[in-house]
Amino acid sequence: MNNRKNALHNQKHLTLSDRTYIEQELLQKSSFTSIASNLKKDSTTIAKEIKRYSRDVPVKGNRSCIKCKNYEDCDLLSRESSCSHYNKKYCPFYCRKCYRYYPPSECLYYIPFQCDKIKKPPYVCNYCNDQKDCPLTKKIYDAAYAQKQYEKTLVKTRQGINVTPEELQELNELISPLILKGQPLSHIFAVHADEIPVCRRTLYNYLDQRIFQARNIDLPRRVRYKKRKKKSAPRTSKNLQQVYRNKRTYIDFERFMEAHPDVDVVEMDTVKGGRASGKCLLTFLFRSCSFMLVILLPTCTQKSVIDAINNLTATLGIRLFRKYFPVLLTDNGSEFKNPWDIETDDEGRHRTYVFFCDPYVSNQKSRLENNHEYIRYIIPKGRSMYKYTQDTINLMTSHINSTARDSLNGASPFDLADLLLDKRIPLLAGLKKVSPDEVMLKPALIESNNSKEAAYDE
C-alpha cells in the first residue's frame, strides 16, 4: 500500500502553476486532500506549503483599539472619559473614534482579539467572506509571493558548506594528500567512497572555493585545455597506396573482427620525449581491461620496435604471446611501417596480425590515446627520457595500472587484469600492483626513484 502511495506522489518541487492552482482552490474552499490528489502530492505537502509561504496583510489605518477583545463592552471608549477636550458642539469625533486619544498600548484592559479560523485548515483567510469588515490582520496565501519566497529559500539552502568544521577538516586530511600525489578524483572516489560524505560535484565546488589545502591546479584535468581547432576531413594521401597498408587498413580490421569477434585487440603506439631523437616509450593496451605495458626504447625506429616485440615474445613465450596479442592496432608512424617483421618472430613463425588506423584519425584507438594522458602526468610533454631506465618506467606503469577508472566502473586495470589476463604477463613485465592510497601520478614519482638509483650506483 505504501509503495502504491509513493508511486502516486511525485518528488518534484511545487511550481508556480501548482501554487496558482492552490490559491484558486482555496477560494473555492477545497480541502487539502482534493488539492493534493489533483497535484499528485501528499496532503501534508499542501498544508506545509500554505503555512510556510502565507503572508500577513495588515488593515489600513490605525484601528488597533477595534482589535481589542473587550471593544464592544469597553467603558473607556465613551467620549466623555476618553477626551478631556470633548465638546459636543465642536468635537469632530462625535463617534467612537476617540481611540485616537487613547492608544491601546496605554490601556490596561486591552486584550488582542484572535481569530480561531486560522488555527485550523486551511490556516488562511482566502476563503473568508468577512474580510471587508474584519479589523484583524489577514493571513493570505498568494501564489506569486509564495514562489518568490520559495526561490529565495532554494538559493539560501544551496549556499555555504553543509558540513561541520570538524568534518571538513577530516575531509581535507583525506583528500588533499591524495590529490597532491596526482591521483584523479575518479580514483579517490573509487577507493574512499564510503569515507567521503559528499558527492563528486560538491567536492569540485569545495576546490573552487579554496577550502582544501589542495587547489584546482593540483588536479590533472581541471586546468582548461586550449581551444581545439576545427576538425578537418581525413586526408587522402599516398599513404593509402603504400605497400605496408595492403590488407591492413582499418576497414580490413573491422572485417577481421566481424569474422573473429572473440579475438582480443591490443592497441600499440609510441610516446616520445623531447623533439631531439632519443629514448621513447612503446606502449601496449589490452582493450578488454585497459591494462597497459610500457617498454623503453633506445630510439624511435623500426629496429627498436621489432627488437622490443621480439624480446617480449621471448619473455612470455610464443604461445602466451599469440593468445594475448592476436591483433595489434596501431597508427601510421614510421616506426611501425615494417608489419612483416612484427607479425613473425626471428624463426619466421606467425605470432600476430597488424592493422593500421586511418591517417589523422587517432580516435580509432582512443583508449590508448587517452591512457597516454596518465603518462604525461608523470613525464610532461617535451621532457627528455635519456635518464630513465626500464625499472623506472615499470614503476610508473605500475602506478598507472593501479589507478581506478570511471570507465571501468571504479575498478583499476590491475583488478581486471587479474581476471582477464594471465598472471604471468604483469609478473614477467616487471609490474606490481600499488596500494590505492600510495598511487602517485606526479613527476616526483620517477624523479625520486632516479635519484635513489644514482645514489645506489655511486
pLDDT of 74? 63
Does residue 379 or residue 134 have the better pLDDT? 379
Lowest mean pLDDT among 64-68, 99-103, 338-342, 435-439: 99-103
Question: Are 361 and 385 contained in the same domain?
Answer: yes
Q: What's 432's domain CATH number?
A: 3.30.420.10
Number of domains composing the chain: 3
Of 365 and 98, the structure prediction assigns the larger pLDDT to 365
The answer for residues whose C-beta is within 8 angstroms of residue 356's C-beta and 6 or more apart is: 244, 245, 248, 249, 250, 329, 330, 331, 332, 336, 339
* Predicted local distance difference test score (pLDDT) of residue 12: 84
Residue 77 lies inside a defined structural domain of this protein: no
Residues 255 and 380 in one domain: yes
Cell of 347: 624463426
pLDDT mean across residues, the chain: 83
pLDDT for 20 beyond 90: yes
Regarding beta strands 353-356 and 327-330, do their DSSP bridges make them parallel or antiparallel, or are they unpaired? Answer: parallel
The answer on 390 and 291 residing in a single domain is yes
Where does the pLDDT of residue 457 fall: very low under 50, low under 70, confident under 90, or very high at 90 and above? very low
The β-bridge partners of 293 are 284
Closest by CA to 437, choosing from 186, 170, 192, is 192
Task: Write out the three cell numbers for 291.
Answer: 591494462
Among the listed residues 147, 142, 122, 196, the one whose alpha carbon sits nearest the alpha carbon of residue 13: 147
Asked whether residue 152 falls in the same domain as residue 190, the answer is: no
CB 416 within 8 A of CB 289: yes
Q: Are residues 304 and 435 in the same domain?
A: yes
Contact criterion met (CB below 8 Å) for 385 and 273: yes
Question: Does 263 share its domain with 182?
Answer: no
Q: How much is the pLDDT for 115?
A: 79
My answer on whether 321 and 198 are in the same domain is no
10 vs 36: which has the higher pLDDT: 36
Q: Integer distance in angstroms from the first to the last C-alpha of the chain? A: 78
Domain range spanning residue 191? 165-218
The confidence band for 157, taking pLDDT boundaries of 50, 70 and 90, is: confident
pTM of the model: 0.66
Q: Phi then psi for 422, rounded to 5 degrees?
A: -70, 135
102's CB contacts (< 8 A; 6+ apart) are: 65, 76, 77, 82
Please tell me whether residues 186 and 148 are part of one structural domain: no
Q: Max Cα separation, the chain?
A: 134
Number of H helices, E strands in the chain: 18, 7
Give me 457's grid cell: 650506483
The string of DSSP letters for 66-87 reads GGBTTTTT-STTSHHHH-TT--
Task: For residues 146 and 250, state if they share a domain.
Answer: no
Q: Does residue 87 lie in a domain region?
A: no
- Asked if the structure places residue 81 within a domain, the reply is no
Residue 155: helix, strand or coil by DSSP? Answer: helix
Query: Is 100 domain-assigned?
Result: no
C-alpha cell of residue 96: 467612537
Same domain, 340 and 396: yes
Tell me, yes or no, whether 142 and 175 share the same domain: no
With pLDDT > 90 as the criterion, what percentage of the chain qualifies?
52
95 inside domain: no
Q: pLDDT at residue 96 above 60?
A: no
* Predicted confidence (pLDDT) per residue in 218-233, tens digit: 887 776 555 556 555 5
